[in-house]
Each structure stands twice: as C-alpha cells, then as structure tokens.
Structure 1
Amino acid sequence: MPAAVYLLGLTIFSLVTAEFMVAGMMPALAEDFSVSLAQVGNLIAFYALGMALGAPPVTVLVVARGIGNKRALLGLLVVYVLSAALGAAAPSYTVLLLARVLMGVSSAACIGLCMTLCASLVAPAARGRAVAVVLAGLMLSPVIGVPLTNIVEHHFGWRASAWLIVALSLLCAVLVATCLKPSAGDRQTPLRQQWLSLGNPALWGAYLTSGLIIGATFAGFSYITPILLDAVGVLPSQVAPLLALYGVANVLGNLLVGRIADSHTYSALGWGLVLLMLAMAGFAMAGQVVWLNLGCFIAIGLTGVALNPAMVARVMKAAEPGALVNALHTSVITAGLALGSWAGGAAIDAGYGLRAPLWVGAVLALCGVLSLLRPWLGARTATPCNAV
C-alpha cells in the first residue's frame, strides 16, 4: 500500500478527532463560556451541519475552477487549520460556534478529496483495502484521538486540546504539500462529467444504504452512555473501557470488511446490516443479562461504522469516484448520523424508555437491508453466470 494512503488516513484521523472531541470536554466549555450543556452540544451539531450542507457547494467550486485534487486538499486543509486556530483562541461562544461551522465545511470537503486521491493511488481492484486503511483514521479517532484530547483538557484546559488539533492538522497539511506526489488521478474530472455521474440511480441507491447504516448505528450509539449506566447497570468507571473496546471492535471490523469490500461488496453490506439489526434488537431486549447486553454492544461495533469500506467500494463501483461524488457521500453519511441521533432522542422524549433508540436503530438497519435487497440478490445471481 502506498505511503500516501497512510498519510490520508492520518488526515482523516485529525479531522474526526476534532469533530467529536467536544463530547469529552462539555463541562469545561460550559463553564468557560457560561452556556448550557445543550449549547455545548450544538458545537457538535453545527460542525455536522457544516459537513452536510457545506461540502457539495465547496466541491462544485473546486471542480468548476479545475483545481487539482492535491492542491484542493492542501488549500482546504489550510482553511481548516485557520478555522481551528480561530476556535482555539475564541473569545466567545459565538466565535467558537462560527469556527466549528467553518471546520465542518472544510472537513467534509477534505474527506471527499481524501477518498478521491486514495482511489487514484491504487488499482481499482485494491480500492476497498486502500479505503479501509484511510478510514482506519476514522476508527482510531474515538479509541486514541478523543481520549487523548480529553487527557490534555483535564491537565491543561480545553484550549490546549484545541491547539493540539491545530498542530496535528498543520502537520498533515505540510506532509500533503511535501510528500503527496501529483499523479494522473490528481486532475479534476470535468464538472459536467461529474454532474452526469450523479444521474446514476445505482449511485443514489448506494447513498441511501450508507445513510441508513450510519443512521442506524448512531440512533443507538448517541445514547449509549445513559443506556449502559441506567438500563444495563454498568458502573461509571466501566464506561470508558467499554467505549474503548467498542472502538477496537470498530477497527477490527473495518479491517475485515476492507479485505472483502472489493470482491464481496454487497454480501459485506447485506450480512453486516443483518447482524447490525439483530444486535440492535438483541440489545433492546437483553434486559439485565449483562453478557448479552455487552455482546450485542460489541457486535454493533463490529458492524455499523465498520462497514464504511464496503459503502465506499459500492459508491466507487456505481460511479467514477470524483470529488463531487465522494463529497456528496460524506454529506449523506453526516445527514444519516443527524437523522439517527434525532430519531433516537425523539423516541426517548416520547416516553418509550432508554432502550427505545436501539429499536430505532434496528428499524433503520432493516430499512437498509430492504434498500440493498435488489442489488444484493442481483449480484448473487450474476456471480455464477460470470464464472461460466
């Protein structure tokens, strides 16, 4: 695997760590800016909103101007570093919120470009494995990145954690500028051709399945701490190790799916969704059986987000992986995350109990299976014919 693929993984690691680090420092931010925890939570929500709504127009602008993928990634990383620095030095909550929106917009566009560059660095048959390496940065973020920023915040304050993200992002920008060599895939596909790619129904089918997978996962995971504490009966001191174990399951699942994403794309997605649905439903019905609760929790970690390599491989098979195609995929995934989190919270507010988000996740996973059923069965019946 080319070294540049690992560099792209490090870049995504820094971007995703910045997105979720706020969750580990909510009390400090609330106290420093004299705002409520709900307002601090908006720092994550508006980052996600920037990712979902900002990436497509920024990418269209980049493609329309014919800026090469490497130059575009470098330029957006510079914007990201400046936005992160504004957030680290923010004198008020409003300035920090604005900085987070700008970070979200540039982050989503950067992730899309990382996927495009990754596809250009390897042969088509190896794209799934290469994407798994790049997305390992996403999987390692909750295991290493977010806990590290939490430790730094605990000892030196939240601004020190924010400046750490600035330094890491700046390092990525420097490495992209000096180590990422231009390739044939660095040239932008003309905007008209990328627009035409968006007319492919198979591509939107892939987008729909991806959004449902992430929505199903985060419907339950967004509320996992109160579920573990109040519904399962886990001790507060045990939550962090369990979340770390979940993160390890994410990494292992990502590597496994990455191995089969190219050759068995639909099977990986289909069986992964079935397992996710069963794990969500099993977790919802596990009652006080601790081993069943924790087993289902880890099973969600092995599927869910870990299906990303197969999700990306399906998108790359449906359309040429241009910057706009990948940016829209990132936006759809982010929208699915927001939908799942909102639906899970709405189920709790409606009085259905703490485990209600798990049922929401199971229903969304079932919808994902249904969205995949036709192409999955088509791929299974086509395989023997191809072999003959």
Structure 2
Amino acid sequence: MTTPYKLPATVYLLGLTIFTLVTAEFMVAGMMPALADAFSVSLAQVGNLIAFYALGMALGGPPLTVLLISRGIGNKRALIALLVVYLLAAGVSAVAPSYTILLAARVIMGVASAACIGLCMTLCAGLVPLAARGRAIAVVLAGLMLSPVAGVPLTTVIEQVAGWRASAWMIVALALLCTLLVARQLPQDVAGQQPSLRRQLDDLKSRSLWGAYVTSGLIIGATFAAFSYITPILINEVGISPAYVAPLLALYGVANVLGNLFIGRIAERHTFRALGWGLALLVLAMAGFALGGEHRWLNLLCFILIGFTGVALNPAMVARVMKAAEPGALVNTLHTSVITAGLAFGSWAGGEAIDAGFGLRAPLWVGAALAGLGLISLARPLLNARTPAARPYA
C-alpha cells in the first residue's frame, strides 16, 4: 500500500502568509462604522481603504514582479524583502494620524501583497512533486478561505473591544511572524526553478489566459461590491445588532470554506461548469438579498449563499489559469492583480451607488450585475467545452 505524500510544513507557512495578507485587505469591511467615526469620513471613503489596497495590488504587483525576475532575485529572497516592506507599511497604518496617511500606507501594503501572493503560489508549486501540486495549492489557498472565517471576525471583535488600531497591530504581529518563519524555514531556491522573464511574458500572449483573468476579476468584483459594505447593510437594512455582526461574518466564512472544499473537488474536471453554476447562484443570491426587504431569513440565507459562491470559486479560477499557462510568478501575480482590480472596481462602484442616493442595498445590485457579466464571459468557453472538436478556449 502506497503511503500518501505528506505536504511539507512550509506549504502551511505559505498559507498562513496569504491568510495574513488577505485578512489585512478585507478587515476594513468589519469595522467600517468605527473607521468612519475615527477619521470623520463617509462609508464610501472607508470603502476606498479596501479599493485602494486592491488598486495597489492591481497596478503595482506585476511591475514589481517583473523587476524582481529581471534582476534574477531568488524567490525566497524576494518574498522576505517584500514582507519587510509590507511589515513597515502595516506599522504605519496602525499609527496613522489621518485618513490620507492610512490610505497611502494601505496602497503600499497592496503593492507588496500582490507580489507576495504570486511568489507564495510559485514557491508552493516548486516545493512539492507535480502530482501533489493541486493539493498543496489548495492548502495555500485555504489561507485565503480562512480569512473570512477567522481573520475578519477576529479583527472585528478586537476592534469592538480595543479599537481599530489594536486590529491593525494584530496584522503587524502576524506579518512579523510570517517574515521570520519564511526566513528561517523556507528552503533556498532551486536553480532554474523560476522560468525566464521572456518565457513568462510569452505565456501572457495566451487568449485563454486573459479569458480566465476577466472571469476571475468579475467574480471577485461582484462579491466585494456587496461584501465591502456588508456591515452597514446588516445593521441598518437587515436590523442585525452590531454584536452579532462578527458571528455572522464567521458563518459567512464557514460557507466560504465549505464552498471551497466542494469546488476544489470538482474544479479540475469540471472547471467551466463549476464557474458557470457558481456565478448563476451568485446572481440569484445578490438579487434575492437586494429584494429581501424585511424578510430577515431571506436576507441571511442569501448572505450565506454569497459566501458559498463568490470567493469560494477560487479553486476553479486557479484551475482555469493553470490550464492556460505555466504557473510562474508573473502569471500568478497578474492573476492576483486582475482579481484585485475587480475587487477595487466592485468596492468603488458599490460606494458610488450608495453616494448616488440609491440606498445601502445598491451595492447588491452592482454585485448582481458584475456576476451577470461574469456569466456572459463564460458563454464561449462553455459552448466550446461541449464541442470536442472545437479549439479549447479556457
């Protein structure tokens, strides 16, 4: 009987690193009223703390990765250096005396975060045999899935007990821990592990890769158009007590994990079906939540269904990208950047809909529209997938 391959502990360390980065990105959603009061700004401006973090990831991550590859800097050294930059910016955000400084610090965190996530995915692929790559990447992505389950609710509870700065310092502590462990535990780079810059740029010419990027960006944009404003929606529209917001966010996170586990089992064989049915359910959940009115059970059911789809479609999104190109640092970083560009747009559009006077539920309609566009973006590959003779279009 063959002994199952045991993943190295460093794979879990990379998952913890992504957990820290994603928690820092999304924790603003759980403390929007507190930040609005602390800096005397609108909810839409607080939403920009998520949007501009994501914008930093989208615009800064790929050029930074190209620079690192062109300089021949090893993956481990690059990850350590970026984590140090991230750590310093996180420290500035924790002591920020003004909204402007906090916003600037989060942009820098976003730039470093995008390259870090791309490197984590690339390092993960190089740490294990090819046959175990899918399982290892699923573990690393679990860091992203666990952020809504544990990270965001934890930062929300800490904010309610000790203020938002205490939550920011928790991120600093986690980032420091990850930096030290990566420096100590991660093996040195294997020669030739990172494909050349020319080869990675050639991979970006794939039309199927950009089709995958577009769908991924729309999925995450749709999700965070709503999730960025979920705390005021739950409190002011659904009538949930502020004390119950953190448990509901945790329940949402559990739905993320369950959805991720389910999608992870079918993503490799049924990539497009998983994305198609997931997006269809996301459209229905967003619209149902927007029309939920005073029916609290319907509002909460749709909220949990958004958690079961949305971010939980990540395994299918990654599977589609890996079918389209070799998962080098640039491909992974650009995927992260496109996703976060969608996140930034969704968060910004949701805030603009509120500021335009359409009400707190307006971001849900924005999310439904973006999810609908994501479903439309799958039309051609879904049709081709049903035609064996057709040229694959991932």
Identity rate of aligned residues, in percent?
Answer: 74
One-letter identity of the residue aligned with 2:41: S
Q: For residues 334-366 of structure 1, what are the alpha-carbon distances to aligned partners after superposition, in whole Å with 9 as ceiling and x for unaligned?
A: 111122223333334444444333232222212
Which residue of the partner structure matches residue 12 of structure 1? 18
8 Å CA contact 2:290–2:364 kept in 1: the answer is yes
1:115 aligns with 2:117: no
Aligned partner (choices 193, 202, 207) of residue 196 of structure 1? 202
Q: TM-score, normalised by structure 2?
A: 0.87
8 Å CA contact 1:126–1:262 kept in 2: the answer is no
Q: Distance in 1 between matches of 2:63 and 2:120?
A: 17
Cα RMSD for the two superposed structures: 2.8
Q: Distance in 1 between matches of 2:345 and 2:184?
A: 39
State which drifts further: 303-312 or 12-21.
Answer: 12-21
Q: Distance in 2 between matches of 1:31 and 1:345?
A: 17
Q: For residues 218-240 of structure 1, what are the alpha-carbon distances to aligned partners after superposition, in whole Å with 9 as ceiling and x for unaligned?
A: 22222333433444344444333
State which drifts further: 45-54 or 308-317.
Answer: 45-54
Which residue of the partner structure matches residue 280 of structure 1? 286
The 1:315–1:37 alpha-carbon spacing in structure 2 relative to 1, beyond 3 Å, is same
Listed as ranges, the gaps of 5+ residues in structure 1 are 384-388
Q: Secondary structure at the match of 1:286?
A: coil
Query: How far did 1:280 drift?
Result: 1.8
1:331 aligns with 2:337: yes
Q: How does 1:214-253 map to 2 (within 5 A)?
A: 214-253=220-259
One-letter identity of the residue aligned with 2:138: A
Q: Distance in 2 between matches of 1:113 and 1:260?
A: 26
Q: For residues 55-112 of structure 1, what are the alpha-carbon distances to aligned partners after superposition, in whole Å with 9 as ceiling and x for unaligned?
A: 0110010111111222211221122122223333445554443322221111111011
The 1:289–1:85 alpha-carbon spacing in structure 2 relative to 1, beyond 3 Å, is closer
Which residue of the partner structure matches residue 386 of structure 1? none
Q: Distance in 1 between matches of 2:96 and 2:37?
A: 14
1:363 aligns with 2:369: yes
One-letter identity of the residue aligned with 2:135: R
Q: How does 1:50-89 map to 2 (within 5 A)?
A: 50-89=56-95
The 1:362–1:31 alpha-carbon spacing in structure 2 relative to 1, beyond 3 Å, is closer
Query: How far did 1:327 drift?
Result: 1.0
Q: TM-score, normalised by structure 1?
A: 0.89
8 Å CA contact 1:108–1:330 kept in 2: the answer is yes
Q: Distance in 1 between matches of 2:113 and 2:320?
A: 22
State which drifts further: 346-355 or 246-255.
Answer: 346-355
8 Å CA contact 2:96–2:102 kept in 1: the answer is yes
Aligned partner (choices 313, 320, 325) of residue 314 of structure 1? 320
Which residue of the partner structure matches residue 145 of structure 1? 151
Q: For residues 159-211 of structure 1, what are the alpha-carbon distances to aligned partners after superposition, in whole Å with 9 as ceiling and x for unaligned?
A: 44333322211211121122222464873211111111111000000000001
The 1:293–1:157 alpha-carbon spacing in structure 2 relative to 1, beyond 3 Å, is closer
Which residue of the partner structure matches residue 41 of structure 2? 36
Query: How far did 1:45 drift?
Result: 3.2
The 1:146–1:291 alpha-carbon spacing in structure 2 relative to 1, beyond 3 Å, is closer
